[in-house]
Amino acid sequence: MTQRSRPRLNIGAVRSTFAPWADPAARPLVRFENVVKRFGGETAVAGVSLDIYEGEFFALLGPSGCGKTTLMRLLAGFEDPDEGRVTLAGEDLAGRPPHRRPVNMMFQSYALFPHLSVEKNIAFGLRQLGLAKDEVAARAAEMLALVRLDGLARRKPHQLSGGQRQRVALARAIAPRPRMLLLDEPLAALDRKLREETQFELMALQQSLGMTFLIVTHDQEEAMVTADRIAVMREGQIVQIGRPAEVYEAPNSRYVADFIGDVNLFEGKVERADGQSVRLASDEAQGGFEAVEDDVIAVGATAWLAVRPEKIQVHLDAPPPGPNRLAGKVADIGYLGDWTTYLVELPNGRTLRAARANAARFVERPVDWDDQIWLTFAPDAGVVLTQ
């Protein structure tokens, strides 16, 4: 995994001072070393190496079946690796059963014990630690307050709403103060509005506890909002690790570009690559494509230019000829309130996506269905991909 240096890239919400992964002296809290896990004939995890540092909010992101949940269960101890090893604070976890690992998991189904009250659910792990009765009660009360469920201590799980259940599961998992909290699709069962709120609550909680969080999700927005770093997984392997902004703005493959957010991909032949910029020839744009790119790519090779919809401008009048300029017809308009997305049909029938922020309430000349329009984008708007 080569991390290309791109000094321009310091956009997005980043705790810029927090970057233990960049510090060669820092020792990771969790280390996966060439881990392989097979189920029958299927390989769920195909050689993953990964470091997670103390205090990090780390996200494993990928479509269902990519092995992200298996990776988490290997850490929790519900599965054993077939090859490689998993260490926690330098100690090999091999053969250690789940109940003797200082990590706790918040289950996707929440797995709340239906026969126990909210309070008893939260106290479950504390009692297992062998704490004194009054300390268990005190810590459980503290957890209830932390997740704002003070009044509901005596309720049974089936008497709670979905959001409340989610908070009980969270409180139960953090109550024993694990070295690390594992969250398996923690917000999947919540509706959209609650999900957004809870994302921010999770971040605030992680900050105030200073605990290491590992979240597994298939929702790129959830990963982008919450995590310090994201590992994008595909078919049992990690394809890219980076900060959310890096993964979004500098995807290293068409797969990542396409999986995270919307993207327009332009295929072309490399005409020139001089270590500063790359020029691609394509049938779709008369002037070809031009992109800032410091890697030198072989002339004549096929490459792709990935451009996000919001980085494409829509013009009703023809802009001056040049590179990164395409003509098309508006096929569809999706009005989202804050944004408007235009689906633009190129003469060759391919559809592109362009998005525009609705900064003003009224526009003098609105873009309409079937309008002939032009699309342009800046040379630094796109990323050149060779795989």
The residue ranges that bind another protein (CB under 8 A) are 76-78, 97-101, 103-105, 107, 109, 111, 113-115, 124-125, 128-129, 158, 172-173, 176
The residues near 176 (Cβ < 8 Å, ≥ 6 apart) are 104, 125, 126, 128, 129
CB of 143 to another protein, least distance (A): 13
On the CB side of 105, CA atoms within 13 Å amount to 21
Least distance in angstroms from the C-beta of 159 to another protein: 12
Rounded Cα gap, residues 5 and 12, in angstroms: 16
Nearer to another protein, 75 or 263 (CB): 75
Helix or strand or coil: residue 147? coil
Task: Give yes or no for a contact between 263 and 307, defined as CB atoms under 8 angstroms apart.
Answer: yes
Cβ contact 86:78 at 8 Å: no
Q: 29 or 375, CB closer to another protein?
A: 29
Burial class (CB in 10 A: 0-12, 13-18, 19+), 151: exposed
- Residue among 78 and 374 whose Cβ is closer to another protein: 78
Query: Hey, how many other C-beta atoms are within 10 angstroms of the C-beta on 249?
Result: 22
| Choice between 112 and 344, CB closer to another protein | 112
Closest to another protein by CB, 110 vs 289, is 110
CB of 38 to another protein, least distance (A): 17
SS (H, E, C) 11-49: CCCCCCCCCHHHCCCCCCCEEEEEEEEEECCEEEEEEEE
Q: What angle do CA 194, 192, 181 make, to 5 degrees?
A: 60
Q: How near is the Cβ of 322 to another protein at its closest, in Å?
A: 58
Tell me whether residue 115 or residue 193 sits nearer to another protein (CB atom).
Answer: 115
CB of 114 to another protein, least distance (A): 7
Sheet holding 30-39, edge to edge: 42-52, 30-39, 83-88, 91-92
CB of 27 to another protein, least distance (A): 25
Least separation in angstroms between residue 52's CB and another protein is 18
* Nearest-angstrom CA–CA distance, 316 and 40: 58
* Residue closer to another protein (CB basis): 56 or 184: 184
Contact of 104 with 174, CB cutoff 8 Å: yes
CB of 104 to another protein, least distance (A): 6
| Residue 196: how many other CB atoms lie within 10 Å | 15
Q: Nearer Cβ to another protein, position 105 or 250?
A: 105
